[in-house]
Amino acid sequence: MMWGFASRRVRLRGYSVKLHIRPMSGQDAWDSATWEYEPQYEIYNPRPGETAHLLDGANRYFCVHDEAGRLVGTCCFGAEARVAGGDYSRDEPEVLDVGVAMHPGLVGRGHGVDFVTAILEFAGRKYDRLRFRATIADFNLRCRRTFEKLGFEETGRFERAGDGQLFIQVERDAAE
């Protein structure tokens, strides 16, 4: 049984597909932990072998598959989508933090808006929140443009605790 959201038709890999979002499985966690992003984006590279937190339902990690069953991305909600050093004082239940990760082979090919829209629609059905918030590395212009196209506006900037990497926070109403 496919659990979650399965009716958002998007264009991935040059053809129209439906995306399915469901809780993270062990295979999904392992597969996504092996992803490697191009230089500059390597800060998003997961650490292979550190998958236990992805499988803990309390951490709210989900996988995104196309209709052929291929893993095309992951998402998470709440505390797992936050970055150390950010101001998250406007916390749940009003604001839902959203984190997204697209398969490295699909990044930069114009799929971002459809991909993130599917995740936001899923989140809107699963969680009752007034606003969505995302935290994005300042240098990640592709991701920033995707969220801007979806109506998100910058609400803050901060340096990540530990390494000083600059991040921005963006928000929008969940109902948009």
pTM, two decimal places: 0.87
Structural domain spans, the chain: 8-173
| 114: DSSP letter | H
Classify 8-173 by CATH class. alpha beta
pLDDT score of 49:
64
**Both tokens assigned to 149:** 């196209």
Mean model confidence pLDDT for the chain: 85
The answer to whether residue 47 scores a pLDDT higher than 50 is yes
pLDDT score of 3:
37
pLDDT score of 10:
54
| 38: DSSP letter | P
Radius of gyration, CA atoms only, the chain: 15
With CA atoms as reference, report the closest residue to 154 among 166, 111, 162, 163: 166
